[in-house]
Chain A
Amino acid sequence: MDKLLPVANGCMLPRKEIPVLDFTLFRDELLAFAENGGYIVQFFAFTENTRLKALAVLRKDTNLYAVSCLLPDEYQALTAENSKFHLFEREIAEQYGVRPLNHPWLKPVRYHANQRGCQDIFGNDYKEDIPGNYDYFRVEGEQIHEVGVGPVHAGIIEPGHFRFQCIGEIVLHLEIQLGYQHRGVEKLLTSFPFKRLPIVVEGIAGDTAMANSISYAQAVEALSLCHDADTTARTLRTAALELERLACHVGDLGALSGDVAFNPPAAYYGRLRGEFLNLLVILSGNRFGRGLIRPGGVTMPLDEKNAALIVAKIQEVRPEIIQVADLLFTAHTVLSRFEACGRVDRDTAIALGLVGVAGRASGINYDARVDFPTEKSGDFAPCKHIRQKGGVYSRAWVRYEEILHSLDQVEKLVSAANLGKTITPNPVENLVPDAFVVTLNEAWRGELSHCVLTDAEGRIARYKIKDPSFHNWTGLAMALRNEQISDFPLNNKSFNLSYCGFDL
């Protein structure tokens, strides 16, 4: 542990302070950390003066650490010893053409050429049409059948590919192969002019626009020193983040109800979700909060009249939400489908490093708002959870508890926000050269992290984004094991993970 550098959430550090270990030592440190109750926040590669380096940000309890190393072109995979690393290692292999030896199942993440221009690890030529050109995991046997779904979804949902290995109705294995949404976001954030970056960040995952914008704003604020958001701005940003959480959680409860064919709550929560999007319009002028959060603060103040409108609406919808929840969670037809379905036990959740709603539903009490508070999120008592058995029911109930928690928060935040003035920030032009910053925020799906490295001229040299879905998609695959294939939509919705946030 003494080889790791303690860092603080959202605080700038000179890059030279991050320890550079010999690779063997780096590997041993990471494995020991992950074995002993630690989790991986970021683990990615980058080039520095033509040399290839890896950087890891780790967390344990309420502590954050950073450590780096020179990355060889081939190395012994960490995934072979600890599964928390598996997607990170696949991503590094794809982005930088590095081969992790003895990786249990090395395959593409997003189907794109690597950034070093060296030979592709998977032997693909990306001038050709590549997605899906991959040998899927197969179960063999006389009674085994395979079901492939996507990339185009049957509903109005983002694309992804799901492949089920089944025996009868029972799913033995679900393989989730994404990458269809890849837009090259990380590359755009290092090549686009500064004025375009907030717009790109809002589009990383539109349903997480507030959390991504806050993470970006905090990173730029730390790296530009002179830009710090005032209290009113921080209050409004936190309120926007909680409204985003409310809209998504309420919508999810409705969709879960729809997936078990209990239509009344689906209709009611579908409408109630819209109420929160309309509150974001009052706050920002856009139903998803776009245009509101910029480095240095927020672009719109909240006047007394609009603050009163928001508070009144929160007070109006709270009893409605509670009444519909009573209808949903006491209907025996719903309970018979929710209970004991898609269970991910605590040990599995810890082994995979699940975060957010899915993690808490499996008994991992980690919430970045509590352990690494930012903005005004630390001002509130943590949300308590009573159902943590790891199934669909727990994932639904955790959402309901968070809805009630966030309703209280928004009401308090908005009442406070109209008291103060806020200054509309000027666009940031210059960043501190050779610096590093990592930010963590609790997006509605879980821990979202942005990590930025600047070069000698103060330009962004590497921008790394990790959506909570990066950890949790594997949780969905595990939840489906030995469940009926007809329960897939229900389980999928109970996780409700991001495709574009994962594909970047």
Chain B
Amino acid sequence: MLKLIRTRINQGYRTSSYPKKDIQLHESYRGRPQINHNCDPELARRCATACPQDAIDPEKGLIDLGRCVFCGLCERLSEGKFISFSTNFELGVADPAQLLCDGNFPDLAAHSKQHFKRLFGRSLQLREVSAAGCNCCEADTNVLNTPFFDLSRFGIDFVASPRHADGLFVTGPVSRNMKTALLDTYDAIPSPKVVIATGSCALSGGPFRDSSEIVPLQDLLEVDLFIPGCPPHPLTILSAMLKFFKL
């Protein structure tokens, strides 16, 4: 018992005051990319050719956040002159057209669907399905339940049964072998329901795009909230959910 009390005192109170106070991530962190439209077009084309995910449109100066895995190659190649990654972790969008961007898109809170705020703004129960996710998106979603993030204080919980859920939270590129289980889970959730796609894989197939063993999520279900990243930072997921459902 004494050990328990001693450890408790030493560990202290660790829950973050986000979103009341901002969090500054380490400068190395690669968050929202910013495109410089005034850059040498030849340099932009070189970045686009080298991009492992073919996520860059050099003519229009756009980057597809659905495909991007934030590897940082374009920033390194252009020495930050064409693309530079900021530490801004707010990446969620409600309109898939906005995934193709130059680093600027409207605030999520302003363009999310208002009826979801009414329905789920005070209490949101989600069923997570990992459909061939590599365990990064899963791990960084799970981490929201640790004391630092403490997701439950916002009235958001991940539940074990789809019958208890208000929505589906999908990670992974959706393997052929998980398609049926994913759709069964979706069907078991009572309507009205929300679908959240998390991570480059769920948004575009990610590293596995073009594999004959996967079925793109967008071909199966209508997605309401898109959260880019490979994997998205826990704060990216948290901020997207708070803005989409609460603000």
Contacts and interface: CB of A to CB of B under 8 A. Distances in A.
Query: Are A and B part of the same complex?
Result: yes
Interface of A: 110-112, 129-131, 151-159, 179-185, 187-188, 192, 195-196, 198-200, 202-207, 209, 251, 264, 267-268, 270-271, 273-274, 278, 281-288, 290-291, 299-300, 306, 320, 323-324, 326-327, 330, 424, 427, 498-500, 503
Given A111-B177, A159-B130, A286-B230, 18 more contacts: A131-B180, A154-B160, A156-B141, A158-B135, A181-B133, A182-B132, A183-B132, A184-B212, A187-B211, A203-B206, A273-B143, A281-B25, A287-B231, A288-B136, A291-B69, A291-B70, A291-B72, A327-B7
B8 interface: yes
A326 B69 CA distance: 40
Nearest to B50: A195
Contacts of B61: none
A203 B175 contact: no
Contact of B130 (A156, A273, A285): A156
B167 to A, nearest CB: 14
A198 B143 CA distance: 26
B3 interface: yes
Contacts of A290: 69-71, 136, 230
A264 to B, nearest CB: 6
A152 B185 contact: yes
A131 to B, nearest CB: 4
A473 B169 CA distance: 27
Contacts of A184: 208, 211-214
Given A180-B181, A278-B26, A327 B139 contact: no
Nearest to A309: B26
A285 B179 contact: no
A124 to B, nearest CB: 12
A173 B160 CA distance: 25
B134 A203 contact: yes
Given A111-B177, A179-B177, A291-B72, A281 B26 contact: yes
Residue among A159, A270, A288 having the largest count of chain B Cβ atoms under 10 Å: A159
B85 A203 contact: no
Contacts of B53: 196, 199
B181 A500 contact: no
B139 to A, nearest CB: 6
A192 B177 CA distance: 22
Given A130-B177, A424-B76, A427-B50, A153 B130 contact: yes
B17 interface: no
Contacts of A427: 50
Contacts of B158: 155-156
21 contacts: A129-B180, A151-B178, A152-B181, A156-B142, A158-B133, A159-B131, A188-B211, A192-B210, A196-B52, A199-B71, A200-B208, A271-B11, A273-B143, A273-B146, A274-B146, A283-B28, A285-B72, A299-B72, A320-B11, A327-B4, A500-B135
